Amino acid sequence: MSTARDTATISDDALGDEEWAREVRRWATRRDAIILAHNYQRPEIQDVADAVGDSLALSRRAAASDAAVIVFAGVAFMAETAKILAPDRTVLLPEPRAGCSLADSITADQLRAWKARHPGAVVVAYVNTSVEVKAESDLCCTSANAVEIVNSVPASREILFLPDQFLGAHVQRLTGRDNIHVWMGECHVHAEITPQDLRERVAQLPAAELFIHPECGCTTTALWMAGRGDLPPGRTRVLSTGGMLEAARTTTASHVLVATETGMLHQLRRANSATRFEPVNPAAQCPYMQMITPAVLLRSLREGTHEVNVDPEVARRARRSVEAMIAVGAPSRGE
């Protein structure tokens, strides 16, 4: 994509923040590229992007974009989803090792074996899955529309929900269905936001509101505490990252405790400077999201690294479930 002269004249490490941001924007224009950044990206990456959002919003943005190149500052399953929705566009994932422990928790072979044990069941896959798993699924969802997607399945049909056990339990709770089988996968970052962390932080800040991502290991405890009155009703909200941002704009709480990856705090603090947003677990950082550094993003634009390709037949099969995901449901506002 670039010439030897282009790459040789710039030393990324020597660039100051503003110069780096100008270079990124200059190369984005030159490549006719749109930069999409997930809410968990480093603050400087979020600030330079064309769009920042949750998985659902970014998938919709990728599908609607007419840019020649989509640079996905996120993880592999997100870039693959963009490629499925925009097959004629060049999709770049700046760091190809940026995977996802949750997506790794189920393979297409495991899913085929599970389906064989439940013939006729409808497979609902969280977007945090490989393209091969999506191709074996009937419907895809994100944390923002999982309940709406499950509710779109007739009540009499059995559902296989995968791969996140905590989101699955949340969906079971909200839909009240007893015919949902849940895969016992987890995201290692969210699983480590524990009930113990939550209890300690609530004891320190008893008046705080709680925003909890449904992938968290503490979700069930938080709702149980709210149910017992240990947390006042209406102050504990289970939200996608996009839902957290909407809630941040309208909250009047002085403090909000946030249970998700800490990159999210950047958007929340920008959205509302009157409220203090604090992490439930400050160590909850996704190592894959962190791999997209400023230098890696600039190199991606300049050198066209790393192009994401999806086998066309697998993409065709995955597209049905992904298109259903972006069509169904406005982002959930939690509870």
> Site residues (CB under 6 A) for ligand SF4?
75, 100-102, 128, 187, 189-190, 261, 286, 288-289
Rounded to whole angstroms, how far apart are CA atoms 290 and 280?
19
Cβ-based neighbours of 188, under 8 Å, separated by 6 or more: 101
Rounded to whole angstroms, how far apart are CA atoms 295 and 278?
28
CB of 314 to ligand 13P, least distance (A): 21
Residue among 85 and 284 whose Cβ is closer to ligand SF4: 284
Cβ-based neighbours of 221, under 8 Å, separated by 6 or more: 195, 198, 199
Of 287, 255, 292, the residue nearest 272 (C-alpha): 255
CB of 55 to ligand SF4, least distance (A): 9
- What would the x/- binding string for ligand 13P be over residues 294 to 333, using CB under 6 A? ----------------------------------------
CB of 193 to ligand SF4, least distance (A): 10
Which of 23, 54, 138, 197: binder of ligand 13P (CB under 6 A)? 54
- What would the x/- binding string for ligand 13P be over residues 200 to 229, using CB under 6 A? ---------------x--------------
The answer to whether the bond into 266 is cis (omega within 30° of 0) is: no
**Per CB under 6 A, 187 contacts ligand 13P:** yes
Q: Which amino acid is at 324?
A: A
In terms of C-beta density within 10 A (0-12 exposed, 13-18 middle, 19 or more buried), how is residue 228 classed?
A: exposed
Which of 41, 46, 55, 130: binder of ligand 13P (CB under 6 A)? 55
**Per CB under 6 A, 143 contacts ligand 13P:** yes
CB of 21 to ligand 13P, least distance (A): 24
Please tell me the chain's helix, strand, coil percentages from 3-state DSSP, rounded to the nearest 5. Answer: 45, 15, 40
Structure tokens at 17: 């923040």
Across 215-303, where does the E strand assignment appear?
Answer: 236-238, 255-259, 276-279
Residues 253-292 touching ligand 13P, rule: CB under 6 A, are none
Structure tokens at 259: 């249970």
Which does residue 142 touch among ligand SF4, ligand 13P, none (CB within 5 to 8 A, set by kind)? ligand 13P
Which does residue 95 touch among ligand SF4, ligand 13P, none (CB within 5 to 8 A, set by kind)? none
Which does residue 138 touch among ligand SF4, ligand 13P, none (CB within 5 to 8 A, set by kind)? none
Structure tokens at 62: 């990728």
Structure tokens at 299: 């190199």
Q: Which amino acid is at 81?
A: T
Number of DSSP helices (H) and strands (E) in the chain, helices first = 16, 12
Which does residue 209 touch among ligand 13P, ligand SF4, none (CB within 5 to 8 A, set by kind)? none
Which of 65, 81, 142, 267: binder of ligand 13P (CB under 6 A)? 142
**Per CB under 6 A, 241 contacts ligand 13P:** yes
- The binding site for ligand 13P (CB under 6 A) comprises 39, 54-55, 128, 142-143, 187, 215, 240-241
